[in-house]
Amino acid sequence: MDDADAEKITIYEQYRREEITEKEARELLGDDVVDSMENDVEAFESSMKLDTSDLLSGK
């Protein structure tokens, strides 16, 4: 991860903690970056809810 990516993550985390508004995050990062990060978070949260017991038991 380079410095630019770290800065994007920092700004997005500020938005998630409501330290800055969505408008500010979109102005700083651009719509595509914010939308992509939101999709990544949603996908991660969704995967955390999956039942992985079959994977661990070798079925």
Where are the chain's structural domains?
3-57
* pLDDT, one tens digit for every residue, the chain (59 residues): 899 999 999 999 999 999 999 999 999 999 999 999 999 999 999 988 887 777 676 65
The answer, as to whether pTM is greater than 0.75, is: no
Specify the DSSP element, H or E, that contains 39.
helix 31-48
Residue 12 CB partners (closer than 8 Å, separation 6+): 25, 29, 33, 34, 37
- On whether the CB atoms of residues 25 and 15 are closer than 8 A, the answer is yes
